[in-house]
Structure 1
Amino acid sequence: MKPSLAAGTTRSSRIVVDRARTIDFMGEQARVYATPMLVQDLEIACRELLLEHLDPGEDSVGTRVEIDHLAATLLGMTVELTVSVVETNGRAVVFEFAGTDGIDAICRGRHHRFVVDVAKTAERLAAKAKKAGL
């Protein structure tokens, strides 16, 4: 991990809410940004920020998400997600995030990620797969 990763490092992403990101269980008129897809987009935004500050062979995994999904965002709207590093402790990184759809604040919360060595992680997963008979 590079020393450039520090509290205050921020990144914003703009995402169009497409059909795959919406709920479908309340009918076509209620196709809104699904919370699980919002969480996925936030995890991706945090990971992309981290990747700018990681060394070759490093990546990160999510370990915790705390989210308030505050408002519905309609199919076709654009959201802006802003993620900021608030704490680093060794390989553990904590983010705060906020999102807006241009009309409403749609989310806020915290996300924790852990920086991993990709090769070592692959070894651990292979060993677990072997134990599981996979």
Structure 2
Amino acid sequence: MKASLQAGVSATESIAIDRERTIDFMGEKARVYATPSLVRDIEVSCRNLLLQHLDEGEDSVGTRVEVDHMAATLMDMAVELTVTIAEVKGRMVTFEITGKDSVEPICRGRHSRFVVDVATTEQRLAAKAQKAGLA
């Protein structure tokens, strides 16, 4: 991890809400940004910020997501997700998240990620796959 990994570091990403990111169970007139898609976009946005402050061979895995999805965003709108590092404790990094569309705030929350060594993680997963009979 680089010294630049500090509380207060922030980034904003714009995400187009396409058909794939919407729910379909209430019909075409009620196609809105799905909460599972929002959670995935939060994880990706946090990881993207974190990667800028990690060393070669490091990555991160999500460990916790707390999100209030407060308003519907229509298909074909855009969402701005702002992720800010709130705390760094060893390899655990916690983010504060806010999101808005062109009309209103749509979400707020926290997300935690754990910084891992990719090679070590691959070895650990290979050992688990072997124990599970998947190797």
What band does the TM-score fall into relative to the shorter chain?
A: over 0.9
Q: Distance in 2 between matches of 1:29 and 1:122?
A: 44
Residue 131 of structure 1 aligns with an amino acid whose one-letter code is K
Aligned length: 134
**Residues 1:32 and 2:29 are matched in the alignment:** no
Match of 1:111 in 2: 111
Task: Report the RMSD for the aligned CA atoms in angstroms.
Answer: 0.3
Task: Return the alpha-carbon distance in structure 2 between the equivalents of residues 104 and 35 of structure 1.
Answer: 16
CA distance in 2 between partners of 1:6 and 1:35 (Å): 29
Task: Specify the alignment match of 1:126 in structure 2.
Answer: 126
1-structure distance, mates of 2:50, 2:14: 17
For the residues of structure 1 that align with 2:80 and 2:41, how far apart are their CA atoms? 10
- Once the 2 structures are TM-superposed, how far is the Cα of residue 102 of structure 1 from its aligned partner? 1.4
Q: Secondary structure at the match of 1:128?
A: helix
Q: Percent identity?
A: 67
1:52 aligns with 2:52: yes
Structure 2 length normalisation: TM-score? 0.99
CA displacement at 1:94 relative to structure 2: 0.3
What TM-score results when the alignment is normalised by the length of structure 1?
1.00
Tell me the residue number matched to 1:21: 21
